[in-house]
A and B are shown apart, each in its own frame.
Chain A
Amino acid sequence: MFSFCTDPSTLPQWQWFACYLTTATHFAFYRSFLMVMLLLAITAPLALAMGMAGAMALRSRIWPLQWLGKGYVNIVRGVPDIVFFLFVPIALGQGIEWVFHHIQCPDWDQPIRQGNDFIVCREAKVPGVNAPAWVRSAYAFSMAVVAFSLVFGAFAANTLYGAMQAVPKAQVETAEAYGMSRTQAFRRVVMPQMWVYAIPGLSNIWQILIKATPLLFLLGLQDAVYWARELGGQKTSLYSYPHPDWRVWYFLVLLCFYLFLTWASEHAFGRLNARLSRGQATAAGERMRKAAA
């Protein structure tokens, strides 16, 4: 990085650290924080969409749809999350390969499950046999996104359904008395008001989502936990930057990163809640109205 970094062993303290903290592997470590942010940025809207779909299904008057919604929410919420995070990527990966296998190699005669092996033909491998490394990690990453959205979609569905029910019934009835259809009443009356009831639950789910991101490590991705272990471990003099076991410091950085993330989002949600309470028929909304008057 810097011009004086050519021979680290001769450097004074601060320059040594300047060089040490700007090595290529350290930049991979910093990038992994961005990966966490990226995962959050992709998963949150997806989970919200899944949650919305789930909540709509729960509200639906068509019973197969309602059962589907109930099944989804209850199964995902009833099984420990970690089981889910480890199960979904493997099961989904095997499922995709199984489908490709049947499409691309219809004349394959050996069974797919041979004892303890899961064998599909060469063309059906996902990602492909010669896929570059970044495709592999992108594939693993998207698996993680799917697993996270599935689990958090179920949590969100439950919260959103509760929020929809919490909008005062009288208002919906008034809307219907004005001749609005069920869909219209939902779009014009329930939808704009439900968020104030949903925000506390959603903010809770968001905090849990943040704290679930280190589990990426379990899916074999090179995330912040991976790099903290890798970089923090003791380095002998064979390395250009020898140091004792510094894992505790690396994990301290991670700890602070997550604390900052949860602290910042707590504040953001507080502001959002205040904004949404304006003009609502709730205690907080009433207090705002009185303060303004």
Chain B
Amino acid sequence: MRTCAQSFEGYILRPLGREYGETLLPRNLDITLCDQVFLIAGGLIWNVYFAGLAIAIGFFLAVGVAVAKFSENPLFRVPASAFVFVFRGSPLFIQFFFFYAAFVLLPRSGIDIPLGFVTLTVNTSALTTAQVGGLIVLVLNTTAYSAELFFGALRSIPKGDLEAADAYGMYGLTKFRRVVFPSMLRLAWPSYTNEAIFLTHSTTLVFLSAFPARQQVGEAFYYARYFVDQTFNPFVAYPIVAGYFVLLTLAIIGLFGLMGRHLNRHLPKERRVRYRFRPQYIR
């Protein structure tokens, strides 16, 4: 039997790859409680990786899509609305399968995109890995959900704010940067916090479906399922992973709460937009 220190050393960084710990995962009767605690904790690295990058990239895309959807020009509005509809109207689970199946069909050697003076080679084999392909699906998904939130916020920007901006002679990008964007962000922030939480929770779906976990490199829930398969006892690994996710959720609420305070700093207390935790996990 391993001691707790040994399992820590062997498994805490194992989710990064075989070179970072024990080559094999613990099996059958050899599994200790410490193995489960540390291996699942290590897997959280990937949850943070997927959630962090997807939110960071998705945020900018979502602002663009929301503005396009709000636009009066159907050339922007229709594609943006269609994009939001497709990704919000279908299950993320199916989206993973669909995109994986599509990525597998791309030629292995890469695709050359000629850009006139230089040729860009897209590495298509990377797309079939969860770390790249799965991330793309998550980015597209969160972009659609956040765009809908930002779109709602754009619609509810106080008329007075816009009129004040007009009265100051602001227009175009200046008006957007100084008035529209900050107000939109402030109004959408509480629901955007929830979106960040749900996205983090749905990172558990990445290895659950189509994308393979090569070298048994996976996120926290992948390892929890591995342990349940091995021990046939759902009462240990699942509570552990649930506990970690509660902690992760609290961290997100704290982090986003700081930003929310910053966005609301100019308002009196009773006019601030409050955050409420509304769990709605499946997407």
Q: Which A residues contact B (CB, under 8 angstroms)?
A: 77-83, 86-87, 90-91, 113, 115-118, 155, 204, 208-215, 217-218, 225, 228-229, 232, 245, 247-248, 250-252, 254-255, 258-259, 262-263
Bound CA span A252–B241, Å: 32
Whether the pair A259, B89 counts as a contact (CB closer than 8 A) is yes
> Given A113-B233, A245-B104, A255-B90, A208 and B97 touching (CB < 8 A)?
no
Contact flag A211-B91 (CB < 8 Å), given A80-B204, A245-B101: yes
CB neighbours of B245 from chain A (8 A): 79-80, 83
A-binding segment of B58-66, B148-156, B259-267, B274-282: B274-282
CB distance A208 to B280 under 8 Å? yes
Interface code B199-218, partner A: CB below 8 Å = 1, 0 otherwise? 00100110010000000000
Query: How many Å from the CB of B50 to the closest CB on chain A?
Result: 14
A247 touches B232 (CB 8 A): no
Q: Pick the contact of A87: B101, B201, B238 (CB < 8 A).
A: B238
Known: A116-B233, A210-B91, A247-B101. 12 other contacts (CB 8 A): A81-B201, A82-B208, A83-B204, A86-B238, A91-B234, A118-B232, A155-B280, A211-B283, A215-B282, A252-B98, A262-B88, A262-B90
Cross-chain pairs A/B with CB under 8 angstroms, 26 sampled = A78-B279, A80-B201, A80-B204, A80-B281, A81-B282, A87-B238, A116-B231, A117-B232, A208-B280, A214-B93, A214-B94, A215-B93, A232-B101, A247-B97, A247-B104, A248-B98, A248-B101, A251-B94, A252-B98, A255-B86, A255-B94, A255-B98, A259-B90, A262-B88, A262-B90, A263-B89
Q: Which of B62-93 contact A (CB under 8 A)?
A: 85-86, 88-93
Q: Which residues from chain A contact B8 at a C-beta distance below 8 Å?
A: none
Given contacts A87-B234, A251-B101, A255-B98, contact A78 B90 (CB under 8 A): no
B105 contacts A214, CB within 8 Å? no
A258 touches B94 (CB 8 A): yes
Q: In the complex, how many angstroms separate the beta carbon of B246 from the nearest chain A beta carbon? A: 7
Report the Cα distance A80→B105, complex, angstroms. 33
Tell me the bound Cα distance from A81 to B242 in angstroms.
Answer: 10
Does B230 sit at the interface, judged by CB under 8 A? yes
- Residues of chain A within 8 A (CB-CB) of B29 are 115-116
A residues less than 8 Å from B231 (CB atoms):
116
The residues in B between 207 and 262 inclusive whose CB is less than 8 angstroms from any CB of A are: 208, 221, 224-225, 228, 230-235, 238, 241-242, 245-246
**Complex Cα spacing A113 to B282, Å:** 33
CB neighbours (8 Å) of B194 from chain A are none
* Smallest beta-carbon distance B197→chain A, Å: 10
What residue in chain A is nearest B231 (Cβ atoms)?
A116
Which A residues are in CB contact (< 8 Å) with B98? 248, 251-252, 254-255
Q: Is the CB of A83 within 8 A of B95?
A: no
